[in-house]
Structure 1
Amino acid sequence: MIGSAPVGAKRPMDPEIEGTRCGIIATNRFFGTDAVTTMTKQRRLNIVCDIIASVEHSLSSADPQKFSQIKRALSTLILTHRFDATRNLNRDEIRCLQQLKKQSNRIITKADKGDRIVLLDRTAYIDKMRAILTTSKYEPLPADPTETSRKNLGSLLISYATETKDPVLTQLAARLKFASNYKSPELYGLPKLHKPGIPLRPIVSTVGSTTSELSRYLKKIIQPLTGKEPSFVKNSTTFGDEIRNWPLSPDEILASYEVKELFPGIPISHSLTQDFV
């Protein structure tokens, strides 16, 4: 993202934020040293992976015979090698986490950028989300479009599956026949700690919606193309390295701008008529 601050510059922390170097940020009100310390350790938990579920998911499209062989070998390996995970939380810290979860007037989330956990006051969070929805960029729908989307997408996938004989599309079309498999997309906000006033970045989660499984399918097709465009930039660090050595003519000026609400500001009707591929 191109910002108004120089490359590598750090923004001062907003006075609304109370934070520590450990990566835990408490907004509006400090939540207590014990809570902050415990949540810091929670970010570095030695997580025990669900090996069986991960392998089954990875081999879902593999040859059935090879899948069975790998699964049997994995089961034998797990049974013959005992592994006991070591807790890095003591009894008081576990109790502290349980108490935090019970506080209905608190929200525990992550920051929009950076590896930080944010403790928010629920009322302030809801007020900021409502302020976003009351702008001219959003308007209420007369009805939930999930059912209409499910039927239309199902008909479209049946047509494509018949034409291409793709077994994945056939499976997706079959699942779309049942309304109980899906739910409406959900909106939530991630606090932008690097912005004055800590605004929220609106995120629409389509997990569990009618398009979520199709999105994963399309991602596998599109992902190999990532990084092959001349305009591709891996991350902000790479961009900073490239821009420092960018050749400029005497009559050229390099400027940077702070872009506010870039994606919500793009007209949907315009974006749907453009060919970006």
Structure 2
Amino acid sequence: MLSKSLKYNVNLDHKFNTIEDDLINIDIAIKNKPKPLHDPLRYSFIHELEKTNLEKNNTKTIKQAKQDMMVIKSISSKLSDNDALITNADKSNTTVIMTKNDYKEKVNNFLQQIELTKLTKNPTQDYNKATNSTISKCKSLTKLEQFKMKTINPQAPSLRGQPKTHKENTPIRPIVNFRNAPTYKLCKYLNNKIKKNIMWEHNF
């Protein structure tokens, strides 16, 4: 299982809905559509449902799903017993198993090497309020664009580490997730605007 890397898509052994449940869900889905579309939509949904059920009930798929779940449970149990975790290595498709203490130690070593200022208060909400206020004042944006750029439930960026297995002592490479940060959507919008309107000259 681990040799397939973290990108391997596991076949989960789902408990599927009954046909009655699926038909009820279809009727709910098309309820607000124009009446002339009800029958064509219902036929289309049922056709796709039949195809999906054939794939789900494929003996080979079910067998593989059960095997995958058994292996996953075994790996999870061994990780828990040894207080370990699984992550992917930096710059390679290698799976790394290490104890949680080793992982925390490597992250702390990285944090000690850079200049950090410890805050007494999480500024995320205040920063988000100021960002949303600025977006609302921007008259060049439509109301819909303003709404799409605002973050409703912001979170401070989170950090995780990828072990550099190609370097001595296996330090970590920091990976920061900004996806739920207050300015993530705004930055993404501005980046797209810049790409569309500015032609960069390549000097290589």
TM category (shorter chain) comes to: 0.5 to 0.7
Equivalent runs, 1:1-277 vs 2, <5 Å:
38-41=1-4, 43=6, 45-46=8-9, 72=41, 75-81=45-51, 82-84=54-56, 86=61, 87=64, 90=67, 92-100=70-78, 102-103=80-81, 105-160=83-138, 162-165=139-142, 167-173=144-150, 175-176=151-152, 181-222=153-194, 229-231=201-203
1:209, 1:198 → 2: CA distance? 29
What is the alpha-carbon distance in structure 2 between the residues aligned to residue 187 and residue 218 of structure 1?
24
More helix by share: 2
* Secondary structure at 1:131 match in 2: helix
Alpha-carbon shift at residue 218 of structure 1 (Å): 3.7
Deviation string 1:5-37 (CA, Å, 9 cap, x unpaired) is: xxxxxxxxxxxxxxxxxxxxxxxxxxxxxxxxx
The residue identity in structure 1 corresponding to 2:142 is K
**1:92 Cα deviation after fit:** 4.7
Structure 2 residue identity aligned to 1:110: N
Report the Cα offset of residue 184 of structure 1.
Answer: 1.6
Contact (CA 8 Å) 2:161, 2:173: kept in 1 or not?
A: yes
Q: 1:194 to 1:209 in 2, by over 3 A?
A: same
Q: What letter is aligned with 1:201?
A: R
Residues 37-75 of structure 1: per-residue CA shift (max 9 Å, x gap): x31246464557xxxxxxxxxxxxxxxx9xx99xx5873
Matched residue of 1:107: which SS? strand
CA pair 125-166 structure 1, distance change in 2 beyond 3 A: same
Inter-partner Cα distance in structure 1 for 2:46 and 2:198: 39
Change (3 A) 1:204 1:74: farther
Instruction: Name the TM-score, length of structure 1 as normaliser.
Output: 0.50
User: Does the CA contact (< 8 Å) of 1:188 and 1:203 recur in 2?
Assistant: yes
Structure 2 residue runs without a partner (length 5+)? 12-33
Give deviations 1:107-153, integer Å, cap 9, x for gaps. 21111111121111111111111122223522212321101211110
Distance in 1, matches of 2:78 and 2:115, equals 35
Give a deviation string over 1:180-217, Cα, whole Å, max 9, x none: x1222112211111111111111221222222333443
Structure 1 residues 98 and 130: CA distance shift in structure 2, 3 A:
closer
SS of the residue corresponding to residue 113 of structure 1 reads coil
Identical residues among aligned pairs (%)? 23
SS in 2 for 1:164: coil
Secondary structure in structure 2 of the residue aligned to 1:118? strand
- Cα RMSD of the aligned pairs, angstroms, is 3.6
Distance 1:218 1:103 in 2: 47
Q: Are the equivalent residues in 1 in contact too, given 2:82–2:99 (CA < 8 A)?
A: no
SS across alignment from 1:108: strand
Which whole-Å CA distance do the structure 2 matches of 1:228 and 1:136 have between them? 32
CA contact (8 A) 1:129 1:189 kept: yes
Aligned residues: 170
What TM-score do the two structures reach when normalised by structure 2?
Answer: 0.66
